[in-house]
């Protein structure tokens, strides 16, 4: 099911790029993997971004991302849970200042939507729909203007209606491709 969602989102982005692309603009599409670390959890994120025009000083890509998190055992124990599983789908916008055709410095906002399952030490299991608000800052390097490697480092802050952790700060280390 997750793969199907990514294929749909990928096609939507490609159609948007074809509709919006002209000879005067340069579209940029990124597919990246992010390793996320914080005091409370570790996780990963698969992310698709479509930049409409990277020839301008400021660009605002459309972002679709899927994340999965696992809380650290000490965090779970402190909150009274024995196990937790969380996945989140992010939709949002990021603003990037194009410092150089291959260097982007940015910040953004997103609305994470997801699902969380927890298990208490007594064995009782619960699940919950998640919604929140997130902010992000970061630096990204793209190897070339046409095709290539993407590397980035980002910091992210969030608030969410989770049973285990309601907010926090995390670091994200990114690697991917530009096409």
Q: The domain containing residue 122 runs over which residues?
A: 2-26+36-168
176 lies in some domain: no
Q: How far is CA 84 from CA 79, 92, 125, 171, in A?
A: 11, 26, 9, 21
How far apart CA 28 and CA 59 sit, in angstroms, is: 10
Q: What is the pLDDT of residue 100?
A: 86
175 lies in some domain: no
Which residues are within 8 A (CB) of 178 and not within 5 positions of it... i.e. 6 or more apart? 28, 29, 30, 142, 143, 144, 147, 148, 149, 150
Nearest-Å Rg of the Cα atoms of the chain is 18
pTM value?
0.79
Domain CATH code at residue 94:
2.40.160
pLDDT in tens, 77-123: 999 999 999 999 988 778 899 898 889 999 988 899 999 999 999 99
How far apart CA 152 and CA 146 sit, in angstroms, is: 18
Count of structural domains, the chain: 1
pLDDT in tens, 51-83: 876 667 888 888 899 999 999 999 999 999 999
């Amino acid at each position: 099911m997750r793969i199907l969602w990514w294929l749909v989102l990928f096609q939507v982005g490609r159609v948007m790029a074809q509709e919006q692309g002209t000879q005067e603009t340069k579209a940029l599409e990124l597919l990246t993997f992010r390793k996320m670390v914080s005091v409370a959890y570790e996780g990963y994120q698969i992310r698709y971004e479509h930049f409409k025009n990277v020839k301008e000083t400021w660009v605002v890509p459309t972002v679709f991302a899927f994340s999965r998190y696992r809380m650290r055992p000490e965090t779970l124990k402190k909150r009274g849970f024995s196990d937790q599983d969380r996945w989140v789908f992010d939709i949002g916008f990021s603003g990037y200042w194009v410092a150089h055709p291959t260097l982007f410095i940015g910040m953004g906002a997103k609305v994470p939507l997801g699902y969380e399952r927890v298990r208490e030490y007594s064995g009782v299991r619960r699940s919950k729909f998640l919604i929140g608000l997130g902010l992000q800052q970061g630096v990204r390097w793209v190897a070339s203007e046409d095709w290539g490697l993407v590397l980035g480092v980002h910091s992210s802050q969030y608030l969410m209606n989770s049973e285990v952790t309601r907010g926090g700060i995390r670091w994200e280390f990114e690697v991917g491709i530009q096409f």
